[in-house]
Amino acid sequence: MPTLKIVQTGDPVLRQQARPLTHDELALSGTQLLIALMRDTMRDAPGVGLAAPQIGESIQLVVIEDLVEDPDRERTTVPFHVLVNPTLTIVGDETVDAFEGCLSFAGYTMIVPRARRVTVEALNERGEPVTIEASGWYARILQHEIDHLRGIVCCDRMDSRTLSTTENHARHWRTATATEVKSAVALPLPDE
């Protein structure tokens, strides 16, 4: 199956509030084809999530799949699934700083603070209600993708001094913790 073009930061569609999908729209064969194309585009990129605005469609539709296990980053395997018209609720007040990339901000990575735990209510691709309770990396993916539906890109939430090309991240920061990186790039204190 062919893949779709991923729009990049600066495209106005990434700054719009996406509109909800109706049950009738979700049932259309064209919407189901779009879901399959988004899945294949996400996998080809490769990425762990893709929101419809990232392929130029201002609708509340997200696909997610993460096949990586990394206990150090609270990352567990998440099978492919679809979220339609999601609402996200932060659970607790604990946040985690971690590097994030974005398919619509290609070639860059940055430290973004995110809530450790969230709850998401949405519809699946069949229009059935689903509730997801997530923590760690999966919670981060959900927040990142649902932000796209609200016109928010990860650079809006980043610690701006940590912005790095992916090449420089691999060269200088790959093994560093978020705390170590933030300390290394902090502004020097002015002389008293």
Query: How far is 76 from 103, CA to CA, in rounded Å?
Result: 21
- Per-residue pLDDT tens for 51-70? 999 999 999 999 999 999 99
The band of 189, judged by pLDDT with boundaries at 50, 70 and 90, is confident
The band of 156, judged by pLDDT with boundaries at 50, 70 and 90, is very high
What pLDDT, on a 0 to 100 scale, did the predictor assign at position 113?
98
Is residue 148 within a helix (H) or strand (E), and if so which, with residue range?
helix 136-149
What pLDDT, on a 0 to 100 scale, did the predictor assign at position 55?
98
Alpha helix stretches (DSSP H) within 11-56: 23-27, 29-44
Angle 13-111-144 (CA atoms, 0-180°, nearest 5)? Answer: 40
Q: Active-site residue among 145, 167, 180, 192?
A: 145
- Per-residue pLDDT tens for 78-125? 999 999 999 999 999 999 999 999 999 999 999 999 999 999 999 999
Q: Average pLDDT, whole number, for the chain? A: 96
Question: Are 83 and 111 spatial neighbours (Cβ–Cβ below 8 Å)?
Answer: no
Domains of the chain: 12-92+116-152 (3.90.45.10)
pTM attached to this predicted model: 0.95
Radius of gyration (C-alpha) of the chain in whole angstroms: 17
Q: What is the DSSP letter of 5?
A: P
What pLDDT, on a 0 to 100 scale, did the predictor assign at position 190?
76
Give yes or no: 145 in active site: yes
